[in-house]
Amino acid sequence: MPSFFTPDFGLLFWMLLAFLVVFVLLAKFGFPVIVKMVDERKAYIDGSLKSAREANEKLAHIKVESEKILKEAREQQAQILKEAMATRDQIVKDARIKAQIEAQKMLEDAKAQIQHEKDNALLEIKGQVADLSLTIAEKVLLKQLDDAPAQSKMIDRMLDELVTK
Amino acid sequence: MKLRQIIGFIMLLLSPLLAQPMVAESGEAQGGVNVKEVVMGHLSDAYEWHITTWGNTHVTLPLPVIVKGEESGWHVFSSARFHDSPDGVYEGFHLGADGKIYEQTPDGDVRPWDISVTKNVVQLWIVVLLMLVIFLGCARWYRGRQASDDAPKGFVGLIEMFVMMVHDDVIKSNIGEKHYRPYAPYLLTVFFFIFLSNILGLVPIFPGGANLTGNLAITMFLALCTFLAVNLFGNREYWKDIFWPEVPLWLKCPVPLMPLIEFIGVLTKPFSLMVRLFANVMAGHSIVLSLTCIIFVTMQIGPAIGGTMTGISVLITIFMDAVELLVAFIQAYVFTMLSAVFIGLAHQESHSPQKEINN
């Protein structure tokens, strides 16, 4: 029987010793360290992936939010522009109307002034004409009524006129 | 992927070394090659480590012999003493025909208590030392590092990947998530012990080459460890399945037929583990050695056929060594996986239908 078939006591003894040594040392300081580290790394990677996913979700959320805000801002801008335009138009329109009114008023004032001036002028002219005509009439009368009958005749006619009137 | 490359690289490294045993044998080949003796010599344990023979000088590493005689007590001496004395007897001890030490007593030769540091014991300690260096070295690498640091690269990365492959795919998946934790260090130790022993056994020169896992004492010890791990910590369900299995009453009541079969199963499980590993490694070594011996047998017939057969032998030996590398891994894997399966079976949850309904 070859010796490798018959379990030898010596080899069994040494195997027990050697295996116990390697098992105790590796079970205490070897494998658990490696396995623990790998498990920890796995947990860390899982955690990192989870937080990355959350961050991505947050980012997507933020993006949507920002787009919403941008859209709102754009709408608001358009609104403001529209309002500004309307206000401008209104102001221009108002200004125009006001200017028109002002112009109208000025025109009317000018007209009134002119009328007034004209009336005054007419009045003055009238006075002057009256004065002139009086003077002329006086001169004419003085010339025509240098005799008494003519004077009486004249007075009679004038009296008649007043009575009939 | 990485592992495959590494194995391939180791294989490439080993292939030129295959020529080494041929040199070792050529000295003895002159008087005709006794293939059986060569193969058996390599497979067996020895009190010295034969490295090579150069001409007529044997280059050997003498190893300490530690024996306890019947009456003379403990003796510690170098195995080279046997060669020094003319009749091969030293302090009343001599090497027997089976290569083991016998003590000469008045009643004839008896086997003494023998805890000599033999070739296998040295190989055993080389494996243990290598394992300690590799795994404690890797564990050292992690000191002062956080989980958020970079994962290891290079050798530490390879070992980490290897350990985690065994840990997750072999141990955790076969024992089950709930109970695997206390057994993981033992099974990892067993896996790497067998794997490293197998790999070193394939190296034909000094730091390797002993037939460690092809020795029944080693595989018996490993199988015994698994046997204890299974049966010492088996739960109630496990023992109930053995002594009161879920079978019709007549199969277990007057004659305990099923319990008997189940109990034999408890013993055959570690026995199969022991024999499987031993037979695979032993057979692998025998085949590689026999194929190498073809060269010296055919060289005696003639140089032409010898030359041809040398080429063929080298090719086939390289192929066989590659297969043996695969076997080295597979046997370590199978031993660990089956141990894990047996441990898992000793921790199974209740599966009786009544209980399930109650639950």
Looking at residue B277, what is its pLDDT? 93
Per-residue pLDDT tens for B73-103?
A: 888 888 888 888 888 888 888 888 777 888 8
- Nearest Cβ partner of B221 from A15, A25, A33? A15
CA of B278 to nearest chain A CA: how many angstroms apart? 9
B208-233 pLDDT tens trace: 888 889 888 899 999 999 999 999 98
pLDDT of residue B170: 92
Average pLDDT value for chain A: 89
Instruction: Report the residue from B43, B115, B131 with minimal CB separation from A10.
Output: B115
pLDDT above 50 (res B65): yes
Cβ within 8 Å of residue B223, ≥6 positions away: B270, B271, B273, B274, B277
Q: Region B246-256: what's the mean pLDDT? A: 78
* Average pLDDT value over all residues in chain B: 83
Q: What percent of chain B has pLDDT over 70?
A: 88
Q: How many CA atoms lie within 13 A of B179 on its CB side?
A: 18
pLDDT beyond 70 at A137: yes
Query: Is the per-residue pLDDT at B359 higher than 80?
Result: no
| pLDDT of B69 above 60 | yes
Q: Please give the torsion angle defined by the CA atoms of residues A112, A113, A114 and A120, in that order, rounded to the nearest 10 degrees.
A: 110
Window from A82-86, B32-36, B149-153, B309-313 with minimum mean pLDDT: B32-36
- Give the nearest partner residue to A2 out of B40, B138, B184, using CB atoms: B40
Asked whether residue B265 carries a pLDDT value surpassing 60, the answer given is: yes
Q: In sequence order, what are the beta bridge partners of B58?
A: B53
Nearest residue in A to B220, CA atom: A7
Tell whether ipTM is more than 0.90. Answer: no
Q: Looking at A32-46, A122-136, B7-21, which range is the least confident one? A: B7-21
Q: Given this model, what pLDDT does residue B240 score? A: 83
Percent share of chain B, pLDDT over 90: 31
Q: Which residue has the higher pLDDT, A31 or A139?
A: A31
CB A13 within 8 A of CB B116: no
Whole-number pLDDT of residue A2 = 66
How many angstroms separate the most distant Cα atoms in chain A? 205
Mean pLDDT, residues B47-61: 83
Residues of A in contact with B163 (CB under 8 A): 31, 34-35
| Section B252-275 average pLDDT | 88
* pLDDT confidence tier of residue B31, bands split at 50, 70 and 90: low
The neighbour count for residue B321, using CB atoms within 10 Å, is 21
Distance from CA of B21 to the nearest CA of A (A): 20
* Residue B214 forms contact with A (CB below 8 Å): yes
Whole-number Å distance between alpha carbons of A152 and A149: 5
pLDDT in the model for residue A1? 59
Mean pLDDT of A44-71: 94
pLDDT band at B271 (very low <50, low <70, confident <90, very high): very high
Write out chain A residues lying below 8 Å of B66, CB-based. Answer: 10
Strands of B113-114's sheet in order across? B73-78, B64-69, B113-114
pLDDT at B21 over 50: no
- The nearest alpha carbon in chain B to A35 belongs to B164
Q: Is the pLDDT of residue A7 over 90?
A: no
CB contact, 8 Å: B98 with chain A?
A: yes
Q: What is the mean pLDDT of residues B197-216?
A: 87
Q: Which residues of B touch A6 (CB under 8 A)?
A: 216
pTM: 0.74
Nearest to A19 among B115, B116, B221 (CB): B221
- Of the candidates A4, A30, A40, the beta carbon closest to that of B45 is on A4
Q: Is B325 in contact with B357 (CB distance < 8 Å)?
A: no
**Cα radius of gyration (chain A):** 65
| Interface touch A14/B121, C-beta < 8 Å | yes
Q: How far is the alpha carbon of A50 from chain B, nearest alpha carbon, in Å?
A: 15
- pLDDT value for B26: 44
B40 touches chain A (CB under 8 A): yes
What pLDDT is recorded for position B336? 95
pLDDT of residue B2: 57
Q: Which residue, chain included where needed, has tokens 């008896």?
A: B110
CA distances (Å), origin B67, targets B97, B123, B145: 18, 20, 49
**pLDDT, tens digit, for every residue of B298-322?**
888 888 888 888 999 999 999 999 9
